[in-house]
Amino acid sequence: MPLPKAELHLHIEGTLEPELAFELAARNGVELPYADTEELRKAYQFEDLQSFLNLYYELMAVLRTEQDFADLTDAYLARAAAQGVRHAEIFFDPQAHTKRGLELGTVVEGLWRALERSEARHGVSTRLIMCFLRDDSAESAMATLRAAEPYLDRITGIGLDSAEVGHPPVKFREVYEAAAALGLRRVAHAGEEGPPAYITEALDVLGVERVDHGLRCVEDPALVERLVRERVPLTLCPLSNVRLRTVDTLADHPLPAMLDAGLLCTVNSDDPAYFGGYAGDNFDAVRQTLGLTGERLRELARNSFLASFLEDDEERRAR
């Protein structure tokens, strides 16, 4: 039995496996510039975040209809459940779809079609987090937030993703203020490729409750001390860090030192179709390569529920 856990850092578009990409391409008459799944898989060699994002956005072209988003999400939930995920807080990138001409409603209703039956079908409770692309303008993010207002019963929170360096959190101050006024929970990617100062800014300017990645906090001892003191959860993604070369090898990952420092770390999969594994695979990898003990693994699983947006009673049931 895999350890029951919550997945808190998962981009639904990053769960698009090559097989499903080709199936959807055929269904929708979309031409992919790869002969087959094998050739596509060969493209999964990344230099950095941007080289991954280029492929990630390119492959999204196969997602066209509500049913496509439902099929993608249902396939993810089945895989996650098999690896012990009992609760998933799922990111999606609305602007990546609306800029290709899709309606926001197509995306949200499609995701919802799978999410609304997830507990019954997979035993996985879910939340939806709408991310803004930080390399797009703040005006576009604000327009997206306004367009999402009819769907807010389905959306728990907002996040910030895509190319980090050069796009500091402060750029989205007003959007986060508006989201807070709507009662939305707030998270943001910070300190993946960007400097530790972006983590501080995400906390102080955007009011985030969790930091996605946050890995580069280790470069700033005063920041580590603050994150420990304020019990700020970090949603780490070890296999992603290796594939995007934010760490040299998994053996060099600072996760054990971060746990020793008292940081509230969680282990997540980010974009599992691209980075070599789902939540359980990430747990297996850190157990095998970083030698984490059973107690440390249980702490990570416990942290994942603590850091989730589940209410206390739901949290107990999910564990």
Interface residues toward ligand HPA, by CB under 6 A: 11, 14, 49, 56, 161-162, 189, 192, 240, 270-271
In this structure, are residues 159 and 129 in contact, taking their beta carbons and an 8 Å threshold?
yes
Residue 5 interaction partner, one of ligand HPA, Zn ion, none, beta carbon < 5-8 Å per kind: none
Residue 233 interaction partner, one of ligand HPA, Zn ion, none, beta carbon < 5-8 Å per kind: none
Residue 14 interaction partner, one of Zn ion, ligand HPA, none, beta carbon < 5-8 Å per kind: ligand HPA
Q: Which is nearer to Zn ion, 93 or 270 (CB)?
A: 270
Q: Does 89 bind Zn ion (CB under 5 A)?
A: no
State which residue has the least CB distance to Zn ion. 270
**Shortest CA distance to 71 belongs to which of 123, 19, 111, 37?**
111
- Please state the closest distance from residue 186 (CB atom) to Zn ion, in A: 15
Give the residue numbers of the binding site for substrate. Answer: 271
**Residue 87, helix vs strand vs coil:** strand
Please report the sign of the dihedral spanned by the C-alpha atoms of residue 120, residue 285, residue 203, residue 162: negative
- Three-state secondary structure readout of 147-188: HCHHHCCCCCEEEEECCCCCCCHHHHHHHHHHHHHCCCEEEE
**Cα separation of 180 and 58, whole Å?**
32
Token pair belonging to 243: 């594939």
- Please state the closest distance from residue 61 (CB atom) to ligand HPA, in A: 16
**Shortest CA distance to 20 belongs to which of 30, 9, 7?**
30
Q: Does 270 bind Zn ion (CB under 5 A)?
A: yes
Query: Is 109 an annotated catalytic residue?
Result: no
Q: Which is nearer to ligand HPA, 84 or 194 (CB)?
A: 194
Catalytic residue among 89, 192, 193, 201: 192
Residue 132 interaction partner, one of Zn ion, ligand HPA, none, beta carbon < 5-8 Å per kind: none
Q: Which is nearer to Zn ion, 34 or 309 (CB)?
A: 309
Within 10 A of 256 (CB to CB), how many other CB atoms are there?
A: 15
Catalytic site positions: 192
- Residues at the interface with Zn ion (CB under 5 A): 270
